[in-house]
Structure 1
Amino acid sequence: MIVVGLTGSIGMGKSTTAQMFRDFGVLVNDADEVVHELYRGEAVAPVEAAFPGTTKDGTVDRAELSRQLMAAPQRLPELEAIVHPLVREKEKEFLSRSADAGAAFVVLDIPLLFETGAEKRVDRIAVVTCSPELQRERVLKRPGMTEEKFAMILARQVPDSEKRKRADYIIDTSDSFDVTRAQVKAIVGQLAASKGDADA
């Protein structure tokens, strides 16, 4: 089974692209969705212990957690030390289920793929990109987003130019949905062909 890591900096259109892979019948494990689930489950107690006041009604209050981290960015590794191992476990379960189901290839949607060393766990890398101007426009439209928060997020991410250099596939979302979908379809076709060659 070929494991493709899908990544891209904030605002590049990664979530939309991941959905396109799903539309073509590819199994996708979305790390952000997994974190949302963990924030309603296994991560609640350890996050509250490390960051008191960040949970309520049995879930992590993301806005409060974000507020605390903006005030003390140096504590981010503490949160990652709690969350990343739990995400890895869920990822392993997904890969195991997908292999059992006979999937030829799957996609791991990992926002911080290079930043967390996850490229070692995948066979191919697909990077979603767009122009810096379009990226900024998309991100600043998000609720609660500020220039300061955007700058903090960008500072944590490997630059887009570096990601593109390390990619096996580049998906440019600067144009229409149809143009993006055609790029995804081409990649799915290449993966199916390469898997067929490997099995032959």
Structure 2
Amino acid sequence: MTRPLIIGLTGSIGMGKSTVAAMFEELGVPVFDADAEVHRLQGPGGRLLPAIEAAFPGTTGPGGVDRAQLGAQVFGNNEALARLEQIVHPAVAAARQTFLIEHAAQPMVVFDIPLLFEKGGAAQVDRVVVVSAPAEVQRARVLARQGMTPEKFAQILARQVPDAEKRASAHHVIDTGTSLAETRATVRALVNELQQSGC
């Protein structure tokens, strides 16, 4: 069975990955957004709510997972985080497989996976595209987010593979420290290159 070329799109927090994923979609490339799938699974009526409530009592309600409550139980607790991941990751993997089947006729698809390197997902894609920006740009973007603190940012960074390592391991790097127009042109050129190479 033929299948699309699988592009693994990743990048550290605040690097502009969601923006780049949207640019792929604008060009007609289907994108599987792992974070969005997690939100669906944990949202109102989400399939994972019973398992999450059983493992972390008091963290779910009619609106789905109470992210503040769950975060309070999980953040900085490796054992609790591992328990949560054992609930979430298999469900996301199954949804990703369904997505791939649904788009089997496409020349390429994008898997938008924030922790591609951290969770060993790079071996499951054909091309790794890393979204990157200068450290000072990244810091400014992240600290502008509601509820973000320098301490929380430092903790998140500590859990992620350093940007330099990601860039070194990538097949392609997209710089988002430039204008949106320049980034969009870079994405378009990459899609054209992959299509012309027969994927």
TM-score tier (shorter): over 0.9
1:7–1:127: 8 Å Cα contact kept in structure 2?
Answer: yes
- Distance in 2 between residues matched to 1:150 and 1:43, nearest whole Å: 27
Say yes or no: does 1:92 pair with 2:97: yes
Q: More helix by proportion, 1 or 2?
A: 1
Q: Give TM-score scaled by structure 2 length.
A: 0.94
Aligned partner of 1:51 in structure 2 is 56
- CA distance in 2 between counterparts of 1:109 and 1:23 reads 15
1:106 equivalent to 2:109? Answer yes
How many angstroms apart in 1 are the aligned matches of 2:84 and 2:69? 13
Report which stretch shifted further, 104-113 or 48-57: 48-57
- For residue 174 of structure 2, the aligned residue among 171, 174, 192 is 171
Q: Distance in 2 between matches of 1:135 and 1:78?
A: 30
1-structure distance, mates of 2:140, 2:49: 33
- Higher deviation after alignment, 142-151 or 68-77: 68-77
> Structure 1 length as normaliser, TM-score?
0.94
Distance 1:70 1:178 in 2: 37
- Provide structure 2 residue ranges, at least 5 long, that are not aligned to the other structure: none
CA RMSD of aligned residues (A): 1.1
2:53 is the alignment partner of 1:75: no
Count of aligned residue pairs for this structure pair: 194
Report the Cα offset of residue 130 of structure 1: 0.2
Asked whether the equivalents of residues 4 and 126 of structure 1 are also in contact (C-alpha less than 8 Å), the reply is yes
Q: Percent identity?
A: 54
Assess if the C-alpha contact under 8 Å between 2:174 and 2:183 holds in 1. Answer: yes
